[in-house]
């Protein structure tokens, strides 16, 4: 955050070692005056040119200040009482003046490290769960393109190895979340007709237990929270479509932001408002959109509308396309995961991949 390399911090630590007290205080002499030879020894034998270069970097960063003598030497002049009266060298006063700022920066670094650790832990869990799902599916001979799921997992893992920042790792976690959702959806579609079969129940139990991260925070807990009305059509027995993080949706469908009030979306309500504008713009009938809201829930219907907007150039009839998604959703045969994943990859690679 200060733009300093480790060598500069080693030199700063060496300078502090020449300060005789434990704490920096305004009422004490804050100037240290070691020779370059002494400083180099305490800075782990750093070369003279490297020492001077890093001293200059510390001055530029505003952590120390030069207090030069008339002849350029570093020394101290003592008074009659034996105390230091005047000192020439490097003043540590900037460190004391910026103590609060540096403490805040240290807290931010610690918080970022904690955040990275949490994201990496979630990625590890999600990778393990997806691998379990793929293994279980292949061992049971479950239908579906599991090789595509495997390939997508390998591709994402390759990106994780080069991701160093929180946004990059969060993007990888989003992809793994989508991939996990799709894998679970593929298996659940096959398990729903087998409710009375004991083996099917065992496999379902295995799948649910293998998913160690709860989606309770991401999906409504009841039909009324999904946006259903009392007179809505009966919902099928299939599991409801799971909702996705808003940030992930906006990365996959950035065009929807242009239709939001004020040109920005920070809440689900703003996304749903923008989706109504897009519905009208694309010529989707109010009844088609209402049916989608009842089948998927208002949030997921808005996400579906955002996806349709992204692919508008490849869709002949947006209204017919949405109705088809609604019918598939009612039968428990549709998941937003593959569509969002394809759009995310399209924006990452700049290519034109089909959702």
Q: Where are the domains of the chain?
A: 6-97, 110-218, 230-237+250-355
Could you report the per-residue pLDDT of 299-355, keeping only the tens digit for each? 889 999 999 999 888 888 899 999 999 998 888 777 787 788 788 777 766 644 444
Could you report the per-residue pLDDT of 191-248, keeping only the tens digit for each? 444 443 444 444 344 433 333 333 333 333 333 333 444 444 444 444 445 567 788 8
Tell whether domain 6-97 is in CATH 1.10.10.60: no
Report yes or no on whether pTM surpasses 0.75: no
Highest-confidence range of 137-141, 172-176, 198-202, 216-220, by mean pLDDT?
172-176
Alpha helices in the chain (DSSP H): 6-16, 36-42, 48-60, 93-97, 99-140, 146-162, 166-191, 198-210, 246-252, 268-282, 286-296, 298-310, 318-330, 336-349
Q: For residues 347 and 311, is the Cβ–Cβ distance under 8 A?
A: no
Highest-confidence range of 102-106, 148-152, 249-253, 257-261, by mean pLDDT?
102-106
């Amino acid at each position: 955050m200060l733009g300093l390399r480790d060598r500069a911090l080693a030199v700063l630590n060496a300078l502090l070692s020449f300060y005789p007290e434990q704490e920096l205080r305004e009422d004490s002499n804050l100037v240290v005056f070691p020779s370059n030879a002494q400083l180099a020894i305490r800075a782990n034998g750093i070369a003279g040119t490297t020492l001077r270069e890093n001293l200059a970097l510390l001055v530029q960063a505003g952590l120390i200040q030069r207090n030069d003598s008339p002849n350029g030497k570093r020394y101290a002049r003592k008074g009659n009482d034996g105390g230091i009266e005047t000192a020439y060298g490097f003043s540590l006063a900037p460190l004391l003046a910026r103590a609060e700022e540096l403490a805040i920066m240290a807290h931010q670094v610690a918080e970022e490290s904690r955040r990275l650790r949490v994201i990496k832990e979630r990625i590890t869990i999600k990778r393990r769960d997806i691998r379990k799902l793929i293994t279980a599916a292949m061992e049971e001979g479950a239908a579906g393109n599991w090789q595509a799921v495997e390939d997508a997992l390998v591709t994402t893992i390759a990106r994780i190895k080069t991701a160093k920042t929180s946004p990059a790792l969060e993007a990888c976690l989003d992809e793994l979340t989508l991939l996990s959702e799709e894998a679970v959806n593929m298996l659940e579609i096959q398990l729903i007709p087998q409710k009375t079969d004991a083996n099917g129940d065992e496999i379902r139990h295995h799948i649910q237990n293998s998913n160690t991260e709860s989606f309770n925070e991401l999906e409504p807990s009841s039909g009324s929270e999904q946006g259903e009305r009392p007179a809505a059509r009966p919902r099928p027995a299939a599991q409801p479509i799971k909702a996705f993080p808003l940030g992930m949706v906006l990365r996959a469908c950035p065009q929807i932001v242009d239709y939001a009030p004020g040109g920005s979306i920070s809440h689900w309500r703003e996304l749903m408002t923008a989706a109504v504008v897009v519905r009208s713009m694309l010529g989707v009938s109010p009844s088609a959109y209402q049916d989608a809201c009842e089948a998927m829930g208002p949030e997921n219907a808005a996400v579906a509308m955002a996806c349709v907007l992204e692919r508008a150039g490849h869709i002949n009839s947006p209204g017919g396309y949405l109705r088809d998604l609604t019918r598939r959703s009612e039968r428990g045969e549709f998941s937003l995961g593959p569509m969002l994943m394809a759009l995310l990859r399209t924006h990452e690679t700049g290519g034109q991949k089909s959702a």
